[in-house]
């Protein structure tokens, strides 16, 4: 959106009759510094559509209740439509002297329709107005983010289906642990992002109460219909307590908290992509669309999109911490501190949307070197647990004893510079005489992953079923 912004020069201003919030209480306008610290229009102008929608619903309710005339209501409605068109065309002049989006719209409405504009603010306050606007904005942002996370899940599921049997090393402590499939690994992120969508949905459900009509803090003496206004704006119900309605920012904090957890998940996946694309791993390759070069080293192919997703997590984590700090000491009801709620919310929505788009693109775009993954899966004695499990199943040994025997065999292989499967039967029997040649049938990485058939396990058939179930659960 393109729009003009203007502000008068420094020094005390004469009484600014154009700013309805000052009314007749002040003899002069605010000082230049006060005006700068008080103005929020550069941030909250993004609420314009929601502010206008709220005003239209409020005016319609006032008409139905007989609080303002039908003629004034029609003039207000037409004037607000005109303002919406002007803002969307970039023809609206935002003035810092009018502080915020609410006063800018109200002042312009008065210019368009005259005295009738002054009736719009009957039975409401900027306190309930901004709380309503921000809830509506966050509600829309949540819907957009849910769609973006769903798209990422779809990309992950598609790759998981394609790589249901692609063997890779499963790591703990970043050390070789047990073989898994790449599809199984990707489906772990599908579950993580599914929980993120659940948190976004929970946040949306809890915020969907309408503060409008709560007034500044105490309600209003006018016979308004808050139920009707709430319905008109898509809320489930009006907020139950007028003090809470104007002072609650839990919905903003919950939005930031959900965003923070989601971006941590994105950052973890980004870190893995950075590792997988490195020469030391060589598991995955990103295309030119999601990599950059070096200004001095011609050979470089840097996974900058992933690195930037990883870095931008800090912005969202900081936004949550910042708003928590703003809110922690505020008594009821409204305080101007709450003006600082919008910048972190807007930035989190923007940043998270961008990170999700980048990650979805990288996941769709990546190509996998299955041979490199398989070779790495065979390193580090990753089938040692399979050996221990065989000793339990075939020989009836207690697992702790099997664990000890397997550890001795690993040490033997390590000393000989070979893998477990490279030890001969006699060498194995020198540690445990009851071992038979049957053991060698469980020491391959393909056999290892194929054996993990427990629910949620990495066996390729499990992965295919899990991917199909994820499609049904998350994408239907």
**298-322: pLDDT as tens digits:** 788 899 999 999 999 999 999 999 9
DSSP 342-398: HHHHHHHHHHHHHHHHHHHHHHHH-EE-HHHHHHHHTSSSTTHHHHHHHHHHHH---
Q: Give the active site residue among 2, 173, 295, 454.
A: 173
Q: Give the active site residue among 6, 69, 278, 294.
A: 294
pLDDT band at 19 (very low <50, low <70, confident <90, very high): low
* pLDDT surpassing 50 at residue 370: yes
Helices 250-277, 126-162: axis angle to 10 degrees equals: 30
Q: How far is CA 33 from CA 38, 99, 230, 337, in A?
A: 8, 13, 38, 17
Closest CA to 84 of 66, 100, 105: 105
- The separation between CA 28 and the C-alpha centre of its own chain, rounded to angstroms, equals 45
For residue 26, the model assigns a pLDDT of 73
Instruction: Note if 40 is an active site residue.
Output: no
* pLDDT surpassing 60 at residue 42: yes
pLDDT digits (tens, 9 = 90+) for 206-230: 999 999 999 999 999 999 999 999 9
For residue 10, the model assigns a pLDDT of 40
Partner residues linked to 171 by β-bridges: 176
pLDDT digits (tens, 9 = 90+) for 382-434: 999 999 999 999 999 999 999 999 999 999 999 999 999 999 999 999 999 99
Residue ranges in 12-125 assigned as alpha helix (H): 32-38, 41-44, 48-64, 70-88, 101-113
* pLDDT surpassing 90 at residue 135: yes
- What pTM does this model have? 0.92
Instruction: Note if 163 is an active site residue.
Output: no
Contacts (Cβ under 8 Å, ≥6 apart) of 361: 289, 290, 305
For residue 22, the model assigns a pLDDT of 62
Closest CA to 152 of 192, 113, 181, 124: 192
For residue 296, the model assigns a pLDDT of 85
* pLDDT surpassing 50 at residue 5: no
Distance CA 464, CA 476 (A): 17
């Amino acid at each position: 959106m393109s729009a003009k912004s203007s502000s008068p020069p420094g020094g005390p201003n004469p009484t600014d009759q154009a700013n309805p919030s000052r009314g007749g209480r002040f003899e002069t306008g605010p000082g230049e510094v006060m005006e700068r610290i008080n103005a929020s229009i550069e941030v909250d102008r993004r609420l314009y559509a929601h502010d206008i929608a709220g005003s239209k619903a409020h005016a319609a309710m006032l008409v139905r209740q007989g609080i303002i005339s039908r003629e004034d209501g029609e003039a207000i409605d037409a004037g607000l439509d005109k303002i919406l068109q002007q803002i969307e065309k970039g023809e609206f002049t935002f003035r810092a002297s009018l502080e915020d989006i609410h006063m800018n719209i109200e002042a312009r409405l008065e210019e368009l329709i005259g005295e009738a504009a002054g009736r719009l603010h009957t039975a409401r306050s900027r306190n309930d107005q901004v709380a309503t606007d921000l809830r509506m904005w966050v509600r829309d942002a949540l819907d957009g983010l849910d769609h973006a996370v769903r798209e990422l899940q779809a990309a992950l599921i598609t790759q998981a289906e394609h790589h249901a049997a692609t063997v890779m090393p499963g790591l703990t402590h970043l050390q070789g642990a047990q073989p898994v499939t790449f599809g199984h690994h990707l489906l772990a992120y599908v579950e993580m992002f599914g929980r993120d969508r659940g948190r976004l949905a929970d946040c949306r459900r809890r915020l969907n109460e309408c503060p409008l009509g709560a007034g500044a803090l105490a309600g209003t003496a006018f016979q308004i219909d808050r139920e009707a206004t709430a319905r008109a704006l898509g809320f489930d119900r009006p907020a139950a307590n007028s003090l809470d309605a104007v002072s609650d920012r839990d919905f903003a904090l919950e939005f930031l908290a959900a965003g923070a957890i989601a971006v941590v998940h994105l950052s973890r996946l980004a870190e893995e992509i950075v590792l997988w694309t490195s020469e030391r791993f060589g598991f995955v390759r990103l295309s030119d669309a999601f990599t950059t070069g070096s200004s001095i080293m011609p050979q470089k192919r840097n996974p900058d999109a992933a690195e930037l997703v990883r870095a931008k997590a800090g912005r969202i984590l900081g936004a949550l911490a910042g708003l928590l700090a703003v809110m922690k000491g505020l008594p009821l009801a409204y305080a101007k501190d709450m003006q600082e709620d919008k910048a972190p919310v807007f930035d989190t929505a923007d940043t998270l949307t961008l990170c999700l788009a980048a990650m979805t693109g990288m996941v769709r775009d990546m190509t996998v070197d299955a041979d490199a993954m398989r070779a790495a899966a065979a390193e580090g004695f990753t089938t040692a647990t399979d050996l221990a499990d065989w000793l339990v199943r075939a020989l009836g040994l207690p697992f702790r004893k099997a664990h000890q025997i397997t550890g001795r065999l690993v040490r033997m292989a390590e000393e000989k510079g070979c893998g477990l499967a490279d030890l001969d039967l006699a060498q194995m029997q020198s540690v445990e005489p009851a071992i038979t040649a049957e053991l060698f049938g469980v020491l391959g990485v393909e056999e290892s992953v194929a054996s993990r058939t427990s629910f949620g396990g990495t066996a390729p058939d499990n992965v295919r079923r899990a991917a199909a179930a994820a499609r049904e659960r998350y994408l239907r």
